[in-house]
Amino acid sequence: MHVSDYMTATPVTIETSADYQEAFQIMQERDLHHLPVVNAAGAVTGILTRRDLQLAARCFKEAPAEVGEVMHSPVTTIAPDADLAAAVERMRSDRIGCLPVSTDGGQNIVGIITETDLLRALAQLLAER
């Protein structure tokens, strides 16, 4: 089982310089918990979570102007042909809820794999037994 079998292909992303409110709106409208952050060239530079936005709103009197101010960085990526077990172990050891999937170490994001995707894989495995 490979990451590419369960990832969300072509995920929604947001640029580092994007407005904080725009990120919140995208996450709300699309019911996203993780939003990969990319630079102008499209390389992944961080991950933004709903929790990041909530904490930032509490910590700052004024919401940060740019997504880059509240995202998690540096970001850990994984290759689409990586074994699913490697994704589980990396997420567990790094205590993160998702991994951007990249063919070239983050320069080109082709997907995202989340805890929900891993649970779907587990459910499928259990059903096949």
Record the tokens describing residue 4, joined without a space. Answer: 């590419």
Q: What is the pLDDT of residue 58?
A: 72
- In 35-83, alpha helices (H): 50-59
Distances 25 to 19, 52, 63 between C-alpha atoms, Å: 10, 14, 14
pTM, entire model: 0.87
* Residue among 37, 41, 42, 44 nearest 66 (CA): 37
CATH of residue 74's domain is 3.10.580.10
| Amino acid 64: pLDDT | 62
Contact by Cβ (8 Å): 23, 67: yes
Rounded (5°) CA angle 82-16-2: 10
What range does the domain containing 113 cover?
A: 3-128
- Dihedral angle sign, alpha carbons of residues 42, 44, 49, 54: negative
Average pLDDT of adjacent 10-residue blocks, the chain of 129 residues: 94 91 91 94 92 77 75 93 96 95 86 95 88
Number of folded domains in the chain? 1
Q: CA–CA separation, 6 vs 114, rounded Å?
A: 9
